[in-house]
């Protein structure tokens, strides 16, 4: 079970120029098996929220619970996908994945080969086991990054703009692969992005963030079946709704300034 | 791994190159042999210039001041016939090998300490480096007597800081993105060291080893010179004997021999290790 409860999450960083509030009193829940996008402009504290869920950052105030347990007590079992693939260039695809499997214990996992084969199949990389990262394309490197998150079989996937640095064609292909992989077993996903179209394509629910310091502008539910089609009238309607929520939050922010 | 034969071929081609590439093929297009020939010429050019300069000066000077290369090589041959060359070479090589291995291991450990606690380790390392090598050699004799161990000690003291400074610099350049990734899969410390930190350090360790090995050879001569026959009777001691008995051709012979040994150790030890450690780049 990997439902997430975030209540009154506040994060303040101590910087040289004084305390800096990046997340201000944010509360929302993610149901088990739900795909939620955190959408907001750059520097709006989306990644900070994600890292608080992962337990990589500790909250200044408030609480984050995963599966009913505060992450400060027990770190959740998650897979993390970064904006860059973050592969070890001196290790092959399969060695990079084995690293994730063996990372905690340092020893081989019993069904390692089977898991490796399955996860490579999931991201369409069968046959590339022995390639080094510099021998495969950027899109394939991202697939390895996603496979690395999957291979540890987490209930929770945390993704921090994983397709942000890719060209649109490659990103679209990877997004549809991600949706296909996700639909197989419906793990809980929290996906950070600043791309409205991407969020509307992927999410069951979009949490729209305001500019700094982050609050929640609006939470938008999307009741469209997967896989979705870019440019369909339904998608377009959702995109317009998200965009207007975005616009409202920015104009409010400008007034408050 | 598939590439290994090609790798071996590239490195050996510098040594064994056909003097005349097939003329027809050469005229058709700039063949691989043409490119390799050019590379070989460029790589031996500095040695040719050195030899030419040496012979030029030798021709204008008496042999006891500046002997021609032929004379020096002849002396090396004579030393071998007298049965002096091999034992001295073995004694020095042994000291250098032991000194280099200890310097590499100890230097790496100190490098980690330097990166972690720079304000503590830095001044100590600077102190060790500031004391002249000659003084270390003399101190070694005072502390450990006229023994081969004194030679190894002097080598290590002179050589390990090179490794330490390089390792510390390398540790500062370990990719933070990879460390973040290792944190996200909850990697333990050993796994991070083995798969991320040490591979990141490889280029630094290689360049450090190259400089460090040269330093080991040079310092071995200095240390053996002070330690005398009891220091194992290595090349440095023989060089000193040649000097004592006013036999300059022997001094030149031992010096040239030492230079050859240094170059040989680079080709036989550093180059193969480098080829193995950077194999993935050429895959």
Question: What's the domain range around B142?
Answer: 72-282
Residue A19, both tokens: 């305390």
- Name the burial class of residue A206, with classes exposed (0-12), middle (13-18) and buried (19+) by CB atoms within 10 angstroms of its CB: buried
| pLDDT band of A19, cuts 50, 70, 90 | confident
Do residues B42 and B85 share a domain?
Answer: no
Q: Provide the pLDDT for residue B1.
A: 39
In terms of domains, do B26 and B162 share one? Answer: no
- Confidence category of residue A207, pLDDT binned at 50, 70, 90: very high
CA distance B100 to A246: 64
CB A159 within 8 A of CB A81: yes
Which residues, including other chains, have CB under 8 Å from residue B10's CB and lie 6 or more apart?
Answer: none
Q: Write the burial class of residue B104 (CB in 10 Å: 0-12 exposed, 13-18 middle, 19+ buried).
A: buried
For residues B149 and B238, state if they share a domain: yes
Positive or negative CA dihedral for B180, B181, B186, B187? Answer: negative
If one counts every other C-beta atom within 10 angstroms of the C-beta of residue A128, the result is: 17
- Identify whether residues B37 and B126 lie together within a single domain: no
Pairing of the two strands A205-209 and A69-70: unpaired
Residues in A touching B281 (Cβ below 8 Å): 134
pLDDT given for residue A41 in this prediction: 83
Which site among A47, A52, A77, A90 would you substitute to test the B interface, given the most B Cβ atoms closer than 10 Å to its Cβ? A90
Which residues partner with A159 through β-bridges?
Answer: A81, A191
Name the minimum distance, in Å, from the CA of B113 to any CA of chain A: 24
Q: What domains are there in chain A, each with its CATH number?
A: 1-30+56-74 (no CATH), 77-207+218-231 (3.40.50.300)
Q: Per the domain annotation, does B34 fall within a domain?
A: yes
Residue (of A19, A10, A82, A96) closest to A48 by Cα position: A10
Contact A56 B183 (CB under 8 A): yes
CB B198 within 8 A of CB A114: no
**Quick one: A169 exposed, middle or buried, by C-beta within 10 A (0-12, 13-18, 19+)?**
exposed
State yes or no: pLDDT of B41 exceeds 60. yes
Rounded mean pLDDT of B259-274?
Answer: 93
pLDDT digit string, tens, across residues A94-148: 999 999 999 988 888 889 999 999 999 888 899 999 999 999 998 899 999 999 9
Q: Minimal Cα–Cα distance from A218 to chain B, Å?
A: 29
Whole-number pLDDT of residue B269: 93
pLDDT at B2: 40
Span of A86-90, A223-227, B70-74, B219-223 with lowest mean pLDDT = A223-227
- Pick from A82, A90, A104: which is nearest to B181 by CB? A82
> Which residue from A91, A106, A134 is facing B188, i.e. has the nearest CB?
A106
Residue B86 maps to a domain: yes
Looking up residue B76, the CATH number of its domain turns out to be 1.10.3720.10
Q: Does A100 touch chain B (CB under 8 A)?
A: yes
- Residue A79 backbone phi and psi in degrees, to 5: -115, 135
* Nearest CA distance, B202 vs chain A (angstrom): 11
Mutate to test the interface with B, among A71, A83, A88 (most CBs of B within 10 A): A88
pLDDT of B17 over the 60 cut: no
Q: Measured between alpha carbons, how far is A140 from A123 in angstroms, rounded to an integer?
A: 9
Same structural domain for residues B98 and B178?
yes
The minimum CA-CA distance between B39 and chain A, rounded to whole Å, is 27
A104 to B186: CB separation less than 8 angstroms, yes or no:
yes
Are residues B165 and B207 located together in one domain of the fold?
A: yes
- Write out residues 263-282 of B within 8 Å (CB-CB) of A: 280-281
Are residues B79 and B52 part of one domain? Answer: no
Q: Which residues of B touch A106 (CB under 8 A)?
A: 188, 190-191
B187 touches chain A (CB under 8 A): yes
In this structure, chain B runs to a length of 283
- B137 and B265 belong to one structural domain: yes
A chain contacts of residue B196, beta-carbon cutoff 8 Å: 88
Q: How many CA atoms lie within 13 A of A176 on its CB side?
A: 9
**Inter-chain touch A80–B186, beta carbons under 8 Å:** no
Closest CA to B169 of B127, B122, B129, B213: B122
Question: Rounded to whole angstroms, how far apart are CA atoms A234 and A242?
Answer: 13
Q: Which residues in chain A have Cβ-Cβ distances shorter than 8 Å to B181? A: 80, 82, 86
Q: How far apart are CA B213 and CA B104, in angstroms?
A: 10
Domain final position from B60, B88, B111: B60
A151: closest chain B residue by CA: B185
Report how far residue A191's alpha carbon sits from residue A68's, in angstroms, rounded to the nearest whole number.
20
Nearest CA among B100, B122, B127 for reference residue B111: B122
Q: Do A135 and B190 touch (CB under 8 A)?
A: no
Cα–Cα dist A80/A56, whole Å = 11
How far is Cα A2 from Cα A187, in angstroms, rounded to an integer? Answer: 8
Q: How much is the mean pLDDT over chain B?
A: 86
The span from the CA of A198 to the CA of A39, in Å, is: 10
Q: Is residue B118 part of a domain?
A: yes
Averaged pLDDT for residues B114-123? 91
Which residues in chain A are contacts of B283 at CB distance < 8 A? Answer: 132, 135
Residue B65 domain flag: no
- Using the Cβ of A106 and the Cβ atoms of chain B, whether some distance falls under 8 Å is answered with yes
Of the given ranges (A3-7, B28-32, B139-143, B263-267), which has the lowest mean pLDDT? B28-32
Q: Are residues B245 and B180 in the same domain?
A: yes
Contacting residues of A for B188, CB less than 8 Å apart: 103-106
* DSSP secondary structure code for residue A18 in this structure: E
Residue-wise over B21-39: b if at least 16 C-beta within 10 A, else e? eeeeeeeeeeeebeebbee
pLDDT at B229: 72
Nearest CA in chain B to A150: B185
Residues B198, B158, single domain; the answer is: yes
Chain A: give the shortest CA distance to residue B197, in Å. 11
CB A113 within 8 A of CB A129: no
- ipTM score of complex: 0.87
pLDDT-derived band of residue A42, with 50, 70 and 90 as boundaries? confident
| Residue in A56, A80, A90 closest to B199 by CB | A90
Residue closest to B178 by CA, chosen among B210, B152, B150, B201: B201
In a domain, B229, yes or no: yes
Q: Domain check: are B145 and B221 in the same one?
A: yes
pTM: 0.80
| Domain total of chain B | 2
Say whether both B99 and B167 belong to one domain.
yes
What is the distance between the alpha carbons of residues A10 and B81, in angstroms, rounded to a whole number?
84
Last-in-domain residue among B15, B38, B60: B60
Query: Mutation test of the interface with chain A: which of B185, B196, B199, choosing the one with the most A Cβ atoms within 10 A?
Result: B185
Partners of A38 in beta bridges = A192, A207
B34 Cβ contact list (under 8 Å, min separation 6): B21, B26
The number of residues making up chain A comes to: 257
Is B77 a member of any domain? yes
* Res B130 pLDDT > 60: yes
């Amino acid at each position: 079970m990997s439902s997430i409860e975030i209540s009154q999450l506040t994060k303040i960083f101590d910087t040289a120029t004084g305390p800096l509030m990046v997340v201000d009193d944010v509360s929302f829940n993610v149901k088990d098996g739900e795909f939620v996008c955190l959408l907001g402009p750059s520097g709006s504290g989306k990644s900070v929220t994600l890292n608080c869920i992962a337990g990589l950052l500790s909250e200044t105030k408030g609480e984050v619970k995963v599966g009913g347990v505060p992450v400060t007590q027990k770190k959740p079992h998650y897979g993390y996908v970064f904006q860059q693939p973050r592969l070890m260039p001196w290790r092959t695809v399969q060695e990079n994945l084995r690293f994730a499997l063996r990372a905690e214990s340092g020893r081989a996992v019993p069904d390692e080969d089977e898991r490796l084969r399955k996860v490579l199949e999931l991201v369409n990389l069968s046959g590339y086991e022995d390639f080094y990262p510099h021998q495969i394309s950027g899109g394939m490197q991202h697939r390895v990054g996603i496979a690395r998150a999957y291979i540890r079989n987490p209930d929770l996937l945390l993704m921090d703009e994983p397709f942000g640095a890719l060209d649109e064609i490659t990103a679209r292909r990877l997004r549809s692969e991600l949706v296909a992989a996700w639909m197989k077993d419906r793990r809980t996903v929290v996906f950070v992005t600043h791309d409205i179209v991407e969020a509307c394509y992927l999410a069951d629910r979009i949490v729209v963030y305001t500019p700094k310091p982050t609050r929640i502008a609006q939470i938008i539910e999307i009741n469209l079946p997967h896989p979705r089609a870019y440019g369909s009238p339904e998608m377009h309607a959702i995109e317009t709704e998200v965009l207007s929520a975005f616009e409202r939050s920015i104009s409010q922010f400008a007034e408050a300034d | 791994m598939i590439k290994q034969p090609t790798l071996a071929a590239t490195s050996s081609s510098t040594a064994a190159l056909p003097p005349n590439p097939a003329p027809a093929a050469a005229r058709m297009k700039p063949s691989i042999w043409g490119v390799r020939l050019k590379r070989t010429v460029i790589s031996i050019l500095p040695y040719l210039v050195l030899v030419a300069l040496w012979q030029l000066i030798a021709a204008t000077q008496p042999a006891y001041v500046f002997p021609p290369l032929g004379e020096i090589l002849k002396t090396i041959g004579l030393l071998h016939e007298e049965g002096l060359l091999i034992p001295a070479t073995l004694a020095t090589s042994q000291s250098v090998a032991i000194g280099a291995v200890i310097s590499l291991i100890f230097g790496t450990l100190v490098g980690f300490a330097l990166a972690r606690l720079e304000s503590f380790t830095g001044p100590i390392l600077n102190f060790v480096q500031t004391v002249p090598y000659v003084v270390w050699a003399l101190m070694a004799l005072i502390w450990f007597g006229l023994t081969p161990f004194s030679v190894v000690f002097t080598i290590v003291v002179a050589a390990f800081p090179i490794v330490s400074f390089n390792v510390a610099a390398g540790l500062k350049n370990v990719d933070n993105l990879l460390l973040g990734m290792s944190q996200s899969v909850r990697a333990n410390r050993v796994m991070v060291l083995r798969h991320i930190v040490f591979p990141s350090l490889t280029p630094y360790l290689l360049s450090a080893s190259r400089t460090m090995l040269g330093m080991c050879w040079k310092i071995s001569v200095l240390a053996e010179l002070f330690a005398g026959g009891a220091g194992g009777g290595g090349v440095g001691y023989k060089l000193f004997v040649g000097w004592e008995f006013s036999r300059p051709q022997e001094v030149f012979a031992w010096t040239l021999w030492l230079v050859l040994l240094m170059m040989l150790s680079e080709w036989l030890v550093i180059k193969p290790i480098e080829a193995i450690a950077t194999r993935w780049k050429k895959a």
